[in-house]
Structure 1
Amino acid sequence: MCGIVGLHLRNPALQPRLGELLTQMLCEMQDRGADSAGIAVYGDPRWSPAGHVTVSFVPDAAATGLGSGTPATTAAGALTAALGSAVEVVDAGPTLVAHVPAEVGTDALRAAVLEAYPDALVAGFGADVAVLKGVGHPRDLAEAYGLPAAQGWQGVGHTRMATESAVTPGGCHPYAVGPDQCLVHNGSFSNHASIRRDLVAAGVEFDSMNDTEVGARFVADRLAAGLTVETALKELLTTFDGFYTLLVADSDSFAVVRDAIACKPAVIAEHDDWVAMASEYRALVGLPGIAEARIYEPEPERIYAWTR
């Protein structure tokens, strides 16, 4: 079943409340999937400080506890040794968030993570995004992440009821496989195996057997080729079969699309101060000014996109 939430803030005055609002939204969707939950936060000064690049990682991709099992100070020492320059690490429950000055680069930091922790799952990377993934009840995970205190301009979250792959951090959404990109998905892709084969043949590597990762890798491949998010999603609509609602984000945009049948629920709310999306309206009721918002159900195969 799964639950999707997303919040794009238009009013900078609300940015200190991003985590508080996302926590309310995510926890309202816990009945749609309580085996795992993930969140992508854009612009938090603790996880993604200005002038730095960030890599979010789970030290043991098979871990299922609410903690990473690795103290942040220990990870910082291991990554500093692997990289050869200072790395700061922030504890975010099952996920650790490492960052270095931007001139060091995400590729170097990702390589250091995988050298120090060969069994790690790289959950996300970029200049603006922290991606937190874990197995457990969404409310417990939100607390473990420290999500209520997060700040920023945008967040995307997911609660999962597993149907396509194992209940591990690698099977959790969001899938953030390109720089500052993330994708969450409610539904299933019926032809994901054949698309996976084509991507693997083109040199794309996968972290899981989840069908959602195929969608994320497809979109990331198109974005890397220079397409916009909207154009990449148009290609996805003509390539993927199945029933799905998708929310895709990067540092500058926030987009929603549903398949031609549109049987997976979705609702969008637009306000002067924000744009929000969720699988069910109840996830939106706590947003400030919701009574004045324009609320509607997205149409099949129409791409809804907003930019900063």
Structure 2
Amino acid sequence: MCGIVGLFLKDKSLEPQLGALLSEMLVSMTDRGPDSAGIAIYDGGARGHGKITIQSPIPAADFPGLDVELGNEIGAKVSTLVKSTHAVLDVPTDKLEAARAAIAELRPNARIMGVGEAIEIYKEVGLPAEVVKRFEVIAMKGSHGIGHTRMATESAVTTLGAHPFSTGPDECLVHNGSLSNHNNLRRELIRDGMRFETENDTEVAAAYLSSKIAHGMNLGEALKSSLSDLDGFFTFVVGTRNGFGVVRDPIACKPAVLAETDSYVAFGSEYRALANLPGIEDAKIWEPEPSTVYFWEH
């Protein structure tokens, strides 16, 4: 049992409130998964700039001086925003892949949480209220975001085991449910060149989507393919550069609710995650259909 939330803002005047709204939604889901929590915020940066979010178990050793060293390696200016165990590196968009490779050499203890032009991913062990406070999520602005609070059922309670999981540039996944064929699928993906850092079945789902995209599918097609290739119970919420999407397995036994107004589209594992959103009393509220991919994008 886990809790997942998503918020896509149509009304740009609400963008300064994204972090606060999404934090409240996530904290309301605490008793669905108190082990760890994470959030992905999408806030487009300056044109020509990209973001790499990294996490370190020893931030006091890994973060100081990294911007200068990385800038020297890739031949470009790099700036760093440090938030607790995470840091967001601002690099030129055309240097993202070079920077990613250089980070692995310069800071082997660091782990890359997400890469793209807009995405920032923060996740850690602990209650949602502690995690959003630790990373100052309430003060963050943006156009959309997704979040997850986890009850570990098939793998250890670790930072890397927390959601969201990156599925590609500016894309990530959160998951409520359990996959029964993830071990077989993991072996297939390893043969396809994928690497794994946890025993989490959601990491397998994220790698599956990444693999399908790498082989020519778009994300919507990959999600549709998951309905036949992934066995188990699942609700997926995915974040993309321009929006977010939702899909439930063919049985759809995991709870899910969507709400839409002229100002936003919101998702929650339960209605209480949406109850305090502005204008919710006038929203269209419904349960997403099984085996149906929903997308909202700018």
- The verdict on a shared fold, with TM-score over 0.5 as the criterion, is yes
1:186 is aligned with what amino acid?
Answer: N
Residues 1:91 and 1:43: Cα distance change in structure 2 (over 3 Å): same
Which residue is 1:27 aligned to?
27
Residues 1:274 and 1:156: Cα distance change in structure 2 (over 3 Å): same
Contact preservation (8 Å) 2:20, 2:140: yes
Residues 1:70 and 1:292: Cα distance change in structure 2 (over 3 Å): farther
1:224-269: CA deviations, max 9, x gaps?
3332222111100000001111101211231111112211111100
For 1:168 and 1:75, locate their aligned partners in 2 and report how far apart those are by CA, in whole Å: 24
Shift of 1:102: 1.7
Partner of 1:133: helix, strand, or coil? strand
**One of 69, 77, 84 as aligned partner of 1:93:** 84
Which runs of 5 or more residues in structure 1 are unaligned? none
Q: How does 1:147-296 map to 2 (within 5 A)?
A: 147-296=137-286
For 1:101 and 1:81, locate their aligned partners in 2 and report how far apart those are by CA, in whole Å: 13
For 1:226 and 1:110, locate their aligned partners in 2 and report how far apart those are by CA, in whole Å: 23
1:246 is aligned with what amino acid?
Answer: F
For 1:307 and 1:254, locate their aligned partners in 2 and report how far apart those are by CA, in whole Å: 7
Which residue is 2:54 aligned to?
57
Structure 1 stretches of at least 4 aligned residues deviating more than 6 Å after TM superposition = none
Contact preservation (8 Å) 2:62, 2:110: no
How many residues of Structure 1 are paired with residues of Structure 2 in the alignment? 298
Residues 1:283 and 1:69: Cα distance change in structure 2 (over 3 Å): farther
For 2:74 and 2:221, locate their aligned partners in 1 and report how far apart those are by CA, in whole Å: 37
Contact preservation (8 Å) 1:94, 1:133: no
Q: Give the alignment's TM-score, normalised by structure 1.
A: 0.92
Q: Give the alignment's TM-score, normalised by structure 2.
A: 0.95
Contact preservation (8 Å) 1:95, 1:134: no
Contact preservation (8 Å) 1:82, 1:116: no
Shift of 1:84: 4.5
For 2:226 and 2:9, locate their aligned partners in 1 and report how far apart those are by CA, in whole Å: 26
Contact preservation (8 Å) 2:19, 2:139: yes
For 2:47 and 2:149, locate their aligned partners in 1 and report how far apart those are by CA, in whole Å: 29
Partner of 1:18: helix, strand, or coil? helix
2:110 paired with 1:113:
no
Which runs of 5 or more residues in structure 2 are unaligned? none
Partner of 1:247: helix, strand, or coil? strand
Contact preservation (8 Å) 2:39, 2:164: yes
Partner of 1:162: helix, strand, or coil? coil
For 1:162 and 1:70, locate their aligned partners in 2 and report how far apart those are by CA, in whole Å: 29
For 1:32 and 1:79, locate their aligned partners in 2 and report how far apart those are by CA, in whole Å: 40
Shift of 1:50: 3.7
2:260 paired with 1:306:
no
What's the % identity of the aligned pairs? Answer: 46
Shift of 1:114: 1.3
For 1:94 and 1:137, locate their aligned partners in 2 and report how far apart those are by CA, in whole Å: 16
Contact preservation (8 Å) 1:121, 1:207: no
Contact preservation (8 Å) 1:93, 1:146: no
For 1:289 and 1:69, locate their aligned partners in 2 and report how far apart those are by CA, in whole Å: 43
Which residue is 1:4 aligned to?
4
Partner of 1:231: helix, strand, or coil? helix
2:135 is aligned with what amino acid?
Answer: Y
Which residue is 1:18 aligned to?
18
